[in-house]
């Protein structure tokens, strides 16, 4: 009944005045009622709203040609619960969102630690510095902005994750996931746990920001309004660093060499022995005596000879030794 159809469709236009499909159906009804003028107007509006609506284009062409206008309409079945394919699609979407959230969380943590470092706190701070009492705005503002952006992005992604998680949980409750493949069922279980973890993470990140960064910002006078202004116009808030001359290196006086007391044991020899260290005569050791001598410790050149017997440098007269307290050289002479 085209008259009833026209009445019903006219009522729907009060709620959906710009629905191309409804306008097309109204045009068909007016065509059946032989109201070709109104039908043409409805088809034209439908095409204007949805140029890809082929059924309306065909109907308008047939109407202008004076031919019969067929009804081309396929009802769409709306699935309130979805099907297995829809569940798998949502599982994939959930996994993709979770990966993006993990990346966003890591980025936020990086900016968070850099912010703390700007105030001399946290593991990235360069050594122990005094507490910052003025706002280093040129360094803090971009980090603050990036951290805020990542935190808001994480929260937005959390909302998307929640939609997917609720869809999965609803289907799991009614047993719609039982027919999925084993790997998909594993994803269903992981989605429930992962969503609870994500909820905890959001609270943790917010608390981390409020307890870790906000007190430092307030102490240094870095208000949100000031930081936002610096982000909008960084040149205006750029802090000019004054170059300072490099400090002159302090030349430390050379440390004196440690002195060493060593011994030359000449108790087995009947002749005097000259003791030369690094080519300098240090002293003599009497025959049948063991004498102590003092000189700089360390690696030295030692020569022990009897006067007139040879010269230091002759074969077998010189050796490298490391002199230290208590070191002893014992001479052996033929009897």
pLDDT tens across 60-73, in order? 888 888 878 888 77
Q: What is the mean pLDDT of residues 96-117?
A: 91
Give the DSSP H or E segment for 328: strand 328-330
Tell me, what's the pLDDT at 156?
Answer: 87
Distance CA 190, CA 167 (A): 14
DSSP calls for 153-215: HHHHHHHHHHHHHHHHHHHHHTTTTTTS-HHHHHHHHHHHHHHHHHHHHHHHHHHHIIIIIHH
| pLDDT tops 50 at residue 84 | yes
Band of residue 41 on the pLDDT scale cut at 50, 70, 90: very high
pLDDT in tens, 198-225: 888 888 888 888 888 888 888 888 888 8
Give the range among 80-84, 103-107, 215-219, 278-282 with minimum mean pLDDT: 80-84
| The pLDDT of residue 78 is above 50 | no
pLDDT in tens, 110-162: 999 998 888 888 888 877 666 777 888 888 898 999 998 998 899 888 888 88
Output the DSSP codes for 72-135. Answer: ---PPPP-SS--HHHHHHHHHHHHHHHHHHHHHHHHHHHHHHHHHHHTT-STTS-SS-PPP-S-
pLDDT > 70 fraction of the chain, expressed in percent and rounded: 93
Q: Summarize pLDDT for 166-201 with one digit per residue, the tens.
A: 888 888 888 888 878 888 889 998 898 888 888 888
pLDDT at 130: 66
Q: 290 and 263 in contact (C-beta within 8 Å)?
A: yes
Sketch out the chain's domains with CATH numbers.
Answer: 2-65 (1.25.40.10), 84-232 (no CATH), 259-330 (2.60.40)
* Residue in 308, 259, 302, 257 with CA at minimum distance from that of residue 282: 302
**For the range 102-110, what are the long-range contacts, defined as Cβ-Cβ under 8 Å and sequence gap of 24 or more?**
104/150, 104/153, 104/154, 104/157, 105/154, 105/201, 105/205, 107/146, 107/150, 108/147, 108/150, 108/151, 108/154, 108/205
């Amino acid at each position: 009944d085209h008259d009833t159809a026209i009445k019903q469709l006219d009522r729907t236009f009060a709620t959906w005045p710009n629905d191309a499909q409804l306008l097309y159906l109204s045009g068909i009804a007016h065509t059946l009622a032989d109201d070709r003028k109104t039908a043409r107007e409805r088809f034209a509006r439908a095409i204007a709203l949805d140029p890809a609506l082929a059924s309306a284009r065909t109907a308008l062409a047939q109407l202008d040609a004076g031919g019969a206008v067929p009804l081309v309409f396929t009802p769409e079945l709306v699935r309130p619960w979805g099907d297995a394919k829809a569940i798998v699609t949502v599982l994939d979407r959930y996994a993709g969102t979770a990966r993006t959230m993990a990346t966003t969380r890591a980025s936020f943590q990086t900016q968070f630690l850099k912010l703390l470092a700007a105030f001399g706190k946290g593991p990235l701070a360069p050594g122990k510095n005094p507490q910052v009492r003025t706002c280093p705005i040129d360094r803090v503002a971009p980090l603050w902005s990036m951290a805020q952006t990542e935190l808001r992005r994480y929260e937005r992604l959390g909302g998307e994750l929640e939609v997917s998680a609720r869809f999965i949980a609803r289907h799991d409750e009614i047993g719609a996931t039982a027919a999925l493949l084993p790997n998909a069922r594993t994803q269903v279980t992981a989605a429930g746990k992962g969503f609870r973890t994500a909820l905890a993470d959001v609270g943790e990140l917010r608390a981390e920001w409020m307890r870790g960064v906000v007190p430092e910002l307030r102490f240094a006078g870095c208000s949100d309004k000031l930081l936002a202004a610096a982000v909008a116009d960084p040149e205006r808030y750029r802090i000019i660093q004054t170059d300072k001359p490099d400090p002159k290196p302090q030349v430390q006086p050379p440390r004196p060499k440690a002195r060493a007391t060593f011994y030359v044991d000449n108790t087995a020899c009947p002749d005097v022995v000259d003791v030369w260290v690094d080519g300098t005569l240090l002293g003599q050791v009497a025959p049948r005596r063991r004498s102590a001598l003092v000189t700089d410790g360390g690696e030295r050149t030692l020569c022990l000879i009897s006067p007139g017997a040879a010269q230091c440098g002759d074969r077998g007269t010189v050796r490298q030794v490391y002199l230290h307290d208590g070191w002893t050289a014992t001479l052996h002479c033929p009897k």
